[in-house]
Structure 1
């Protein structure tokens, strides 16, 4: 693979936070954003606004929640996390159109883009009642 093929493949497989925000704002019904992060709820209190939360470990059992007629955007923690890439591959094998959000939620938060605080929506329980 030469450099041009590499960069074209990368652009086909990923979407930047800026591009996603712009495209989803102009065509909100075209995209289905999924937070695929694994891990305990207390470390996942923030999610990208309007994201569907389907952790990678639950994906197999929740495929019926993911529409085939939309472009699926998946994200995980950061550039060092490959969970979103694993999910993208899994979904592509099943006929979905998928891209990975580059930089994950870390890049999204760094840019001060809209997030949802799940603790305020009572979607996360405080089991220690701290």
Structure 2
């Protein structure tokens, strides 16, 4: 049975120019584990990776070279060592965690340029990238909580 109604087409698609602006705007505030990993591996400068989880979670497993600045601790004092010339890339547990989103908003309010790493440490590990910390490699991310 066919029906003239379409859930996909109920709201008209954006024009190509509107769509381009939308997706570029998303890319200006988001990145992913693959891009962060490749740039770190290539020694690219101009960004700093910040783990926004608790000190205990950071100690168990974090991205090599990431700084630990828990979301609730962010202030002018705790971010004083960060350069406003660098882009700050925030991450937390995974897609179900908004700690990195909250941290990115706080950092932006403090005058930093920020991007959030989609998927957090969960997707970093799923991609097979190395981590540092006390948790054994291969241990599931959420077993650490």
**TM-score category (smaller protein):** 0.7 to 0.9
2:22 aligned with 1:6: yes
Give the structure 2 partner of residue 124 of structure 1.
none
TM-score by structure 1 length?
0.79
The answer for unaligned runs of 5 or more in structure 2 is 1-13, 137-145
Query: What is the alpha-carbon root mean square deviation over aligned residues?
Result: 2.3
SS across alignment from 1:21: helix
State the Cα distance separating 1:43 from its structure 2 match.
8.2
Give a deviation string over 1:73-119, Cα, whole Å, max 9, x none. Answer: 10011111111111111111222111001100000011111200146
Which of 70, 78, 98 is equivalent to 1:55?
70
Q: Work out the CA distance in 1 between the residues paired with 2:97 and 2:49.
A: 17
Q: Work out the CA distance in 1 between the residues paired with 2:20 and 2:83.
A: 32
Give the structure 2 partner of residue 90 of structure 1.
106
Give the structure 1 partner of residue 35 of structure 2.
19
Give the structure 1 partner of residue 56 of structure 2.
41
The answer for unaligned runs of 5 or more in structure 1 is 121-130
Change (3 A) 1:42 1:69: closer
Kindly indicate which of the two structures has a greater share of residues assigned to helix. Answer: 1
Contact 2:62/2:132 (8 A) holds in 1: yes
Aligned length: 119
Which of 54, 57, 64 is equivalent to 2:80?
64
Q: Work out the CA distance in 2 between the residues paired with 1:89 and 1:43.
A: 20
Which of 96, 104, 107 is equivalent to 1:80?
96
